């Protein structure tokens, strides 16, 4: 944590999109306005808000999946707005993990192959299969490694997604409603696993959720409303 | 294992990937099998044609040919033989006989072999590598009969004496000249000057025969053509044997067309499959991008994947095509005993290139769309904006189709025709289907027609109908053409087609010869044959000097074979004027000769027949089918008109193979008659026709499979949408029974509609193609529409049922989850 104290630094971030109304007239819609944010290494940050408040848009911008309309975002000290799509991708490679609400596992692959994927993409050497198996073991799914993910339950699929996210031991993990598609009990299990792994690997976590009990478990909690970010006291 | 290979192996699990492979494989297989096969048949044909010609390229003239032609050929590395032929008198004891002298160089013949015998009572054997030695002459068997000369007798030609040592039964470059009355004798070219027969005024034909690689011949031809003087003419394979070629050209064109359409159909399957592959892979790409994969790497990955897939499909397809063709050829060789030369490897390359072009042209646009996938969509669940269809079509698919058509047809005119034909067909299908579906949707709002509501999904149905209609159209078109073509061929060489020509039947032998035919149940009509030289057209004298064209010059230098009879010849077609009735006089001419020499209906022609002038007006023009194996005449006079002139009779007849003794008996009884056995030519024509027929059937089968593949791809592409729809309907309480009926009804209607469209267009296109490409007559066959509707409905509904029935068995909850 010495060289990069701040993993993400955001200043005066704005995002506007063109949206068509019922008469097909294009109008500018402001989603995010004047967002300022700094995330330190190893912390967990929750962002909550109502549906359509722009949580996912913010997450995408922070990860460099999209570019803001105005303002600056620095990821690992690099200004994203000066980078091309491929340069932004290279910045993420091996350092950033994702967990999505609808898992987004590749259906024609087995659990093991899904976990292997990020390892194979980066320049990793050594016994990759063993590393992937270990990751599956950590989420309690080693026994089902060879099964196609379509044969797994929702909770199991999200656990495979967690193994896939953590297998490269990323510095930063983005989680978009990781429990949104799961029942309460399974959701709690997956959340517990997420925080355990985050803690074990000292990963910086950016968590977008509408589940306040989940947000409460993070070090820092922001609320997104009317395109603006407000810090929430964890105790609140 | 390398990451790329692993990704590739994993992606292979996608059904779209396998379907893509299958489409590529079948295209490569069809292209290769057709290519290999037509290649071999073409070489067989060319070999035969060059035998008739005597070389791959022949230059002839009525004057000695300049030395620089020989030097040019030597420089380019072509093989060369020389032939000088002319007519002269040959004498033995006190008798003389007009003969066709052929003086040949030591390298003669360049292609094929002479056959003959030293003993007139023994069978012919191959005389490969042998030629008459200096002081020897070889002759056709009929010279021995005509002069009553024994083997090894000494005969005189000009100032030289020759020993007559061999009877030649087959000269490969003699060709099929039925009307060469004088028997041919062969002497060494080196012996010619000593005979003193050739003076500058002599009428002789000087020929240089060449063989060599295709490249050498092409170069030689181009060089020679630039130097040719008006008296010289050049002949190459393209102008060789015409009658066999005609049948084969049609077969070749049909095969080409069928392979072409299979490729286009497979192309449609690839576009559809690639589209559903992309839909499937979009999410994967978004995930990979989120994880940090660069666009370039995604492009390399997918492109490498697809090219590798195409390469493997191409190689395997070429191999399978080769084996299939070898199997077909092996079987053919057994059935018709024809000598097929080996196949060249060009077709293998063509099939591999085809697979690569297909995957690049048809799948690349979809692939490029993948690159534009934003990783953000994974968070938002939205699909990227699709590029307009028109742009993709114009930039990638259309050029790819054009290129493929061209690779296959290698003929620009055909390519352009088929290309625009296909575009018109698609647009037409699109437009009509849209009209019909809109009509059905409107109709379904009325209570009695509510069951048609399932046709309201007009965008989806539109695509299906157009795709199905294109597939069915291709199949029906080939079916229609194939049937017509095969019937036509078989009619052209009936099993009782004449296999002998009899010439030189003397006028006084007419009655006994006819009696001989009758006794032996042979069917034959004797036609009088009168030889005359054309001397005037419309009372204006004509000579060969008046015509720049070598063909016209030749016609005027030679004597015409005229005839005179009452019944219009069966194998001819009357184009203009009226055939003779009992009162009329005049000439009936063949169309081509009129065009060459510039006379037409109403003009008058004067012939010099044995020193007497005979003039008549042209009263009719005929088209002659020269491959009919019947005696055909350029000029026919009214019945009885020429019979005061000297004439002989000619006829053709079919001698059953069970009675081989008939012809020797006839010759024995009438020694002046010359019998020419055409069964070998006929046999070749027939075997080639059989071969072509078989090949046509085989290629048709490929097209059928490709058609089914397209059908399946189209269904597969819409499967996810159908799946959601069925889940919703089931969750709303629809019974499995009801859904089953719904699927059958919808696809019976769609298939039937596609079939009607395809059948209608086939009726039009089969006639157009048949008329312009295959010389078939025009006929409107409304059955095609009914057949189209039935085949379409049954085929499409069955395929749809097979594709979708697994979705019916699944519980709706699972459908919603997936």
Least confident of B90-94, B227-231, B571-575, B786-790: B227-231
Confidence of residue B489 (pLDDT cuts 50, 70, 90): low
**Minimal C-alpha gap between B366 and chain A (Å):** 19
A91–B286 C-beta distance less than 8 A: no
What is the average per-residue pLDDT within B264-278?
80
A121–B288 C-beta distance less than 8 A: yes
**Packing angle, helices B295-336 and B346-358, rounded to 10:** 140
Give the pLDDT confidence score for residue B587 in this predicted structure.
92
E strands present in B171-298 = 184-188, 204-211, 233-236
Shortest CA distance from A149: residue in chain B: B818
Give the pLDDT confidence score for residue B197 in this predicted structure.
84
Give the pLDDT confidence score for residue B80 in this predicted structure.
92
Give the pLDDT confidence score for residue A36 in this predicted structure.
93
B296–A66 C-beta distance less than 8 A: no
Give the pLDDT confidence score for residue B621 in this predicted structure.
92
Each residue's pLDDT tens digit, B356-376? 988 888 877 777 777 777 777
Angle ∠(B134,B140,B144) on CA atoms, nearest 5: 95
Looking at per-residue pLDDT, the higher value among A220 and B287 belongs to A220
Structure tokens at A119: 């390892």
**Stated pTM of the model:** 0.64
Confidence of residue A222 (pLDDT cuts 50, 70, 90): very high
Number of Cβ within 10 Å of residue B163's Cβ equals 15
Each residue's pLDDT tens digit, A7-34? 999 999 999 887 777 677 778 888 899 9
Least confident of A203-212, B51-60, B642-651: B51-60
DSSP-based three-state secondary structure for B559: coil
In Å, how far are B313, B626, B628 from B652, measured between CA atoms? 53, 13, 10
Question: Sign of dihedral through CA atoms B51, B53, B56, B58?
Answer: positive
Task: Give yes or no for a contact between B499 and B630, defined as CB atoms under 8 angstroms apart.
Answer: no
B291–A96 C-beta distance less than 8 A: yes
Give the pLDDT confidence score for residue B234 in this predicted structure.
78
Question: Sign of dihedral through CA atoms B547, B552, B556, B557?
Answer: positive
Percent pLDDT > 90 in chain B is: 13
Task: Give yes or no for a contact between B100 and B91, defined as CB atoms under 8 angstroms apart.
Answer: no
Each residue's pLDDT tens digit, B340-352? 666 778 888 888 9
Give the pLDDT confidence score for residue A234 in this predicted structure.
58
Residue B450 pLDDT greater than 70, yes or no: no
**Minimal C-alpha gap between A92 and chain B (Å):** 5
Give the pLDDT confidence score for residue B162 in this predicted structure.
94
Least confident of A138-142, B35-39, B532-536: B35-39
Confidence of residue B20 (pLDDT cuts 50, 70, 90): confident
What is the average per-residue pLDDT within A173-178?
91
Tell me the chain A residues in contact with residue B287 when contact means C-beta distances shorter than 8 Å: 98, 104, 106
A7/A80 Cα distance (integer angstroms): 12
What is the average per-residue pLDDT within B454-474?
77
Mean pLDDT of chain B: 80
DSSP string, chain A: --S-SEEEEEEEEEEEEEEE-TT--EEEEEEEEEEEEEEETT-EEEEEE-TTSSHHHHHHHHTTSS--SEEEEEETTEEGGGS-HHHHHHHHTTTEEEE-TT----TTSBHHHHHHHHHHHTT--S-HHHHHHHHHHHTT-GGGTTSBGGGS-HHHHHHHHHHHHHTT--SEEEEESTTTTS-HHHHHHHHHHHHHHHHHHT-EEEEE-S-HHHHTTSSEEEEEETTEEEEE-TT-
Give the pLDDT confidence score for residue B276 in this predicted structure.
78
What is residue B631's DSSP assignment? -
Give the pLDDT confidence score for residue A175 in this predicted structure.
92
Residue B818 pLDDT greater than 70, yes or no: no
Looking at per-residue pLDDT, the higher value among B682 and B280 belongs to B280
In Å, how far are B379, B602, B727 from A102, measured between CA atoms? 9, 90, 20
DSSP-based three-state secondary structure for B601: coil
Give the pLDDT confidence score for residue B339 in this predicted structure.
60
Q: Which of A236, A235, A232 is nearest to A48 (CA)?
A: A232
Give the pLDDT confidence score for residue B179 in this predicted structure.
45
Residue B761 φ/ψ, nearest 5 degrees: -65, -35
Confidence of residue B338 (pLDDT cuts 50, 70, 90): low
Give the pLDDT confidence score for residue B175 in this predicted structure.
46
**Minimal C-alpha gap between A236 and chain B (Å):** 28
Percent pLDDT > 70 in chain B is: 82
Confidence of residue B240 (pLDDT cuts 50, 70, 90): very low
Confidence of residue B569 (pLDDT cuts 50, 70, 90): confident
B295–A89 C-beta distance less than 8 A: yes
Total length of chain B: 818
Residue A219 pLDDT greater than 90, yes or no: yes
The partner residue sitting opposite B378, judged by closest CB among A57, A100, A117, is: A100
Residue B379 pLDDT greater than 70, yes or no: no
Task: Give yes or no for a contact between B324 and B29, defined as CB atoms under 8 angstroms apart.
Answer: yes
Each residue's pLDDT tens digit, B524-542? 889 998 888 899 999 999 8
Task: Give yes or no for a contact between B601 and B560, defined as CB atoms under 8 angstroms apart.
Answer: no
Give the pLDDT confidence score for residue B681 in this predicted structure.
59
Chain A residue set in contact with B, beta carbons under 8 Å: 56-57, 59-60, 63, 65-66, 85-86, 89-98, 100, 102, 104, 106, 108-109, 113, 117-118, 120-122, 150, 176
What is the average per-residue pLDDT within B437-463?
74
What is the average per-residue pLDDT within B668-675?
74
Residue B677 pLDDT greater than 80, yes or no: no
Each residue's pLDDT tens digit, B708-744? 777 888 888 778 778 877 777 776 677 778 888 888 9
Cβ contacts below 8 Å, chain A against chain B, sum to 79
Please state the ipTM of this predicted complex.
Answer: 0.78
The partner residue sitting opposite B296, judged by closest CB among A86, A92, A98, is: A86
Task: Give yes or no for a contact between A225 and A53, defined as CB atoms under 8 angstroms apart.
Answer: yes
Q: What spatial distance separates the first Cα and last Cα of chain A, rounded to whole Å?
A: 29
Give the pLDDT confidence score for residue B250 in this predicted structure.
65
Question: Sign of dihedral through CA atoms B734, B740, B743, B745?
Answer: negative
B14–A93 C-beta distance less than 8 A: no
Each residue's pLDDT tens digit, A42-72? 999 999 998 888 888 899 899 888 889 999 9
> CB-based contacts of B707: which residues, under 8 Å, 6+ apart?
B265, B471, B472, B474, B475
> CB-based contacts of B122: which residues, under 8 Å, 6+ apart?
none
* Among A54, A86, A167, A182, the residue to mutate for chain B (most B Cβ within 10 A): A86
* Among A52, A121, A148, A209, the residue to mutate for chain B (most B Cβ within 10 A): A121
Each residue's pLDDT tens digit, B136-173? 999 988 788 778 888 999 999 888 999 999 988 777 66
Structure tokens at B613: 């002038």
B709/B270 Cα distance (integer angstroms): 10
Shortest CA distance from B285: residue in chain A: A106
What is the average per-residue pLDDT within B691-716?
73
Element (H, E) at B636: strand B635-637
Each residue's pLDDT tens digit, B401-418? 888 888 877 778 778 888
């Amino acid at each position: 944590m010495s060289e990069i104290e701040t993993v993400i630094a955001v200043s005066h971030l704005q995002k506007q999109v063109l949206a068509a109304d019922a008469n097909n007239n294009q109008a500018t819609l402001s989603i995010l306005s004047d967002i300022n944010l700094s995330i330190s290494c190893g912390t967990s940050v929750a962002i909550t808000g109502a549906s359509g408040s722009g949580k996912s848009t913010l997450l995408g911008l922070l990860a460099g999946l999209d570019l803001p309309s105005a303002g600056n975002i620095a990821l690992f000290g690099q200004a994203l707005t000066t980078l091309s799509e491929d340069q932004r991708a290279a910045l993420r490679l091996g350092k950033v993990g994702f967990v999505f609400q609808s898992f987004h596992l590749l259906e024609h692959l087995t659990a093991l192959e899904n976990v292997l994927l990020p390892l194979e993409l980066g320049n990793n050497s050594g016994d990759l299969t063993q590393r992937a198996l270990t990751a599956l073991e950590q989420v309690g799914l080693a026994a089902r490694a060879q099964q196609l993910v379509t044969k797994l339950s929702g909770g199991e699929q999200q656990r495979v997604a967690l193994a896939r996210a953590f297998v490269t031991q990323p510095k930063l993990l983005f989680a978009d409603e990781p429990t949104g598609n799961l029942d309460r009990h399974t959701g709690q299990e997956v959340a517990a696993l997420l925080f355990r792994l985050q803690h074990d690997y000292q990963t910086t976590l950016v968590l977008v959720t509408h589940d306040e009990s989940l947000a409460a478990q993070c070090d820092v909690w922001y609320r997104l409303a009317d395109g603006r970010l407000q810090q929430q006291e964890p105790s609140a | 294992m390398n990451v790329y290979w692993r990704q590739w192996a994993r992606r292979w699990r996608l059904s779209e990937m396998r379907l893509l492979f299958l489409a590529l494989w079948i295209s490569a297989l069809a292209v290769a099998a057709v290519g290999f096969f037509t290649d071999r048949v073409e070489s067989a044909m060319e070999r035969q044609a060059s035998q008739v010609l005597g070389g791959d390229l022949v230059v002839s003239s009525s004057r000695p040919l300049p030395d620089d032609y020989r030097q040019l050929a030597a420089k380019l590395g072509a093989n060369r033989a020389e032939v000088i032929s002319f007519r002269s008198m040959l004498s033995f004891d006190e008798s003389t006989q007009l003969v066709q002298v052929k003086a040949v160089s030591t390298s003669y013949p360049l292609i094929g072999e002479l056959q003959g015998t030293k003993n007139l009572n023994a069978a012919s054997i191959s005389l490969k590598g042998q030629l008459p030695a200096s002081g020897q002459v070889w002759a056709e068997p009929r010279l021995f009969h005509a002069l009553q000369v024994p083997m090894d007798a000494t005969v005189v030609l000009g100032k030289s004496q020759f020993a007559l040592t061999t009877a030649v039964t087959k000269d490969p470059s003699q060709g099929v000249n039925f009307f060469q009355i004088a028997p041919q004798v062969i002497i060494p070219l080196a012996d010619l000057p000593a005979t003193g027969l050739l003076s500058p005024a002599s009428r002789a034909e000087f020929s240089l025969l060449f063989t060599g690689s295709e490249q050498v011949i092409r170069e030689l031809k181009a060089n020679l053509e630039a130097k040719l003087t008006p008296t010289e003419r050049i002949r190459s394979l393209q102008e060789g044997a015409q009658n066999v070629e005609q049948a084969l050209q049609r077969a070749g064109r049909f095969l080409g067309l069928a392979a072409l359409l299979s490729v286009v159909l497979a192309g449609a399957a690839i576009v559809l499959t690639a589209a559903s592959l992309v839909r499937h892979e979009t999410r994967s790409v978004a995930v990979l991008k989120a994880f940090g994969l660069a666009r370039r790497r995604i492009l390399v990955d997918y492109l490498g994947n697809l090219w590798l897939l195409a390469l493997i499909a191409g190689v395997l397809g070429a191999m399978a095509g080769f084996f299939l063709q070898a199997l077909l050829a092996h079987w053919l060789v057994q059935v018709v005993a024809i000598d097929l030369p080996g196949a060249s490897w060009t077709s293998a390359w063509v099939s591999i290139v085809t697979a690569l072009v297909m995957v690049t042209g048809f799948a690349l646009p979809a692939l490029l769309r993948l690159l534009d996938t934003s990783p953000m969509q994974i968070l938002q669940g939205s699909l990227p904006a699709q590029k307009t269809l028109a742009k993709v079509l114009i930039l990638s698919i259309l050029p790819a189709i054009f290129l493929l058509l061209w690779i296959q047809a290698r003929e620009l005119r055909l390519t352009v025709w088929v290309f625009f034909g296909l575009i018109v067909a698609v647009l037409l299908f699109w437009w009509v289907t849209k009209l019909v579906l809109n009509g059905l949707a409107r109709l379904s709002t009325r209570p009695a027609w509510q069951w048609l509501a399932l046709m309201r999904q007009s965008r989806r149905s539109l695509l299906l109908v157009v795709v199905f209609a294109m597939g069915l159209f291709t199949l029906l078109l080939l079916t229609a053409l194939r049937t017509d073509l095969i019937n036509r061929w078989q009619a052209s060489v009936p099993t009782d087609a004449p296999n002998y020509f009899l010439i030189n039947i003397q006028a006084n032998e007419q009655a006994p010869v006819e009696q001989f035919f009758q006794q032996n149940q042979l069917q034959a009509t004797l036609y009088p044959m009168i030889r005359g030289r054309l001397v005037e057209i419309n009372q204006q004298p004509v000579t060969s000097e008046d015509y720049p064209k070598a063909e016209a010059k030749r016609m005027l230098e030679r004597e015409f074979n005229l005839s005179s009879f009452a019944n219009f010849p069966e194998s001819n077609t009357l184009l203009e004027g009226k055939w003779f009735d009992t009162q009329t006089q005049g000439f009936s001419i063949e169309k081509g000769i009129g065009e060459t020499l510039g006379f037409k209906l109403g003009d008058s022609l004067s012939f010099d027949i044995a020193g007497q002038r005979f003039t008549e007006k042209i009263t009719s023009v005929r088209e002659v089918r020269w491959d009919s194996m019947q005696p055909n005449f350029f000029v026919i006079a009214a019945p009885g008109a020429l019979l005061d002139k000297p004439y002989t009779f000619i006829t053709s007849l079919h001698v059953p193979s069970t009675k081989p003794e008939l012809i020797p008996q006839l010759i024995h009884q009438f020694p002046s008659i010359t019998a020419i056995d055409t069964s070998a030519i006929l046999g070749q024509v027939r075997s080639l026709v059989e071969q072509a027929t078989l090949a046509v059937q085989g290629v048709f089968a490929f097209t059928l499979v490709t058609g089914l593949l397209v059908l399946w791809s189209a269904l597969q592409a819409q499967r996810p949408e159908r799946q959601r729809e069925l889940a919703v309907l089931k969750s709303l309480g629809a019974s499995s029974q009801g859904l089953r009926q719904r699927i059958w009804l919808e696809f019976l209607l769609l298939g039937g509609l596609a079939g009607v469209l395809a059948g209608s267009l086939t009726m039009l296109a089969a006639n157009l193609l048949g008329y312009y490409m295959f010389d078939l007559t025009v006929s409107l066959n409304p059955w095609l529409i009914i057949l189209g509707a039935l085949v379409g409905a049954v085929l499409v509904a069955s395929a749809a049922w097979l594709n979708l029935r697994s979705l019916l068995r699944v519980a709706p909850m699972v459908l919603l989850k997936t």
